[in-house]
């Protein structure tokens, strides 16, 4: 199955309660061969209307931040954990995340990005498979089996809380440093010295048998 076929298979998805209130499924958009993928939470009002992720005010801010580090939206692929808009933009429910997560993972598998930037709590927790706040892991690098996860604050949060704009810009400057380093010839790390999340940051219920490794690149 390719991205087009996966998109077509979800066109009239009825797998959860969100199907009753959405305008359309918001699958994802961008370069299908991108080495960098951004993952947000769920479609909002404008995304639901236009059928593309990040086309509202948060999307405009994301575009500005990408350009500040030399990237265009055509360089990346953008998707959300949840493909349908929750009523009144409420938080996704656990069963909705569980229903949609396999399709996000299929997108990642088909695109094969080297780096996945998670925007906000829900995307970060979904891919790291642990309950941890974005403020504790933002701007850090986590090596998973097939790709690197780089959590960032969500642009929508910065729009609602002006004091988060500076930290969000800092996150993107760190992202640029990560991308610059990843473009260099690989250097095998000393696995024994790579730090992992502390016990205080882990949720026993949600911690996988082999947790992702947190890498310090700075």
At residue 200 the predicted structure's pLDDT band, cuts being 50, 70 and 90, is very low
State how many domains the chain has.
1
pLDDT for residue 194 = 46
CA 43, 49, 50, 54: dihedral to nearest 10 degrees? -30
Query: Would residue 52 count as lying in a domain?
Result: yes
Name the band, by pLDDT with cuts 50, 70 and 90, for residue 217: very low
Classify residue 17: in a domain, yes or no: no
Report, as an integer, the average pLDDT of 158-187.
Answer: 91
- Looking at residues 12-25, what average pLDDT do you find? 96
Among residues 209, 212, 62, the alpha carbon closest in space to that of 141 is found at 212
In a domain, 80, yes or no: yes
Rounded Cα distance between 152 and 82, Å, is: 18
Instruction: Tell me the mean pLDDT in the region 167-182.
Output: 96
The whole-number pLDDT of residue 205 equals 44
H-run or E-run covering 38: strand 36-40
Which H or E run contains 213? strand 213-215
Residue 208 has pLDDT above 60, yes or no: no
Is 102 contained in some domain? yes
Give the rounded percent of residues in the chain with a pLDDT score beyond 70: 85
Asked whether the predicted pLDDT for residue 211 surpasses 80, the reply is: no
**Residue, of 70 and 205, whose pLDDT is higher:** 70
Is residue 6, in this structure, part of any structural domain at all? no
Q: Cα separations (Å) of 183 from 35, 62, 177, 179?
A: 11, 22, 10, 6
Question: What region, left, alpha or beta, does residue 50 occupy, with left being phi > 0 and alpha being psi -120 to 50 degrees?
Answer: alpha
Please indicate, yes or no, if residue 150 is contained in any of the structural domains: yes
Check pLDDT > 60 for residue 179.
yes
What pLDDT, in 10s, does the model give residues 35-77? 999 999 999 999 999 999 999 999 999 999 999 999 999 999 9
Pairing state of beta strands 141-143 and 213-215? antiparallel
For 77, the domain range is: 24-179+199-215
Q: What is the mean pLDDT of residues 140-159?
A: 96
Is residue 103 pLDDT above 70, yes or no? yes
> pTM here?
0.85
pLDDT at 210 over 70: no
Identify whether the C-beta of residue 173 lies closer than 8 Å to the C-beta of residue 97. no
Q: Identify which has the larger pLDDT, 19 or 203.
A: 19
Partners of residue 91 on adjacent β-strands: none
Q: What are phi and psi of 37, to 5 degrees?
A: -125, 140
Buried b (16+ CB within 10 A) or exposed e, 139-176: bbbbebeebbbbbbbbbbbbbeeeebbebbbebbebbe
In a domain, 5, yes or no: no
* pLDDT exceeds cutoff 70 at 87: yes
Q: How confident is the model at residue 185, as a pLDDT?
A: 75
| 127: CATH | 3.40.470.10
Task: With cut-offs at 50, 70 and 90, classify the pLDDT of residue 207.
Answer: very low
Residue at 144 is within a domain:
yes
């Amino acid at each position: 199955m390719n991205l087009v076929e996966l998109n077509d298979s979800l066109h009239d998805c009825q797998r959860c309660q969100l199907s009753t209130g959405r305008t359309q499924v918001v699958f994802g958009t961008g370069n299908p061969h991108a080495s960098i993928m951004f993952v947000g939470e769920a479609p909002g009002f404008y995304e639901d209307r236009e059928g593309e992720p990040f086309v509202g005010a948060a999307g405009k801010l994301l575009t500005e931040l990408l350009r500040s580090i030399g990237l265009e939206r055509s360089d990346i692929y953008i998707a959300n954990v949840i493909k349908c808009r929750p009523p009144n933009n409420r938080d996704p429910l656990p069963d909705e995340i569980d229903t949609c997560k396999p399709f996000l993972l299929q997108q990642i598998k088909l695109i094969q990005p080297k780096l996945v930037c998670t925007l906000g709590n829900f995307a970060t927790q979904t891919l790291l498979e642990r309950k941890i706040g974005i403020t504790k892991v933002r701007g850090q690098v986590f090596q998973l089996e097939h790709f690197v996860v780089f959590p960032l604050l969500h642009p929508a949060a910065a729009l609602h809380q002006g004091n988060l704009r500076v930290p969000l810009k800092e996150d993107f400057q760190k992202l640029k440093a990560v991308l610059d380093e990843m473009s260099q010839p690989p250097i095998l790390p000393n696995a024994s010295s790579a730090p992992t999340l502390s016990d205080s940051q882990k949720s026993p219920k949600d911690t996988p048998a082999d947790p992702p490794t947190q890498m310090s690149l700075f």
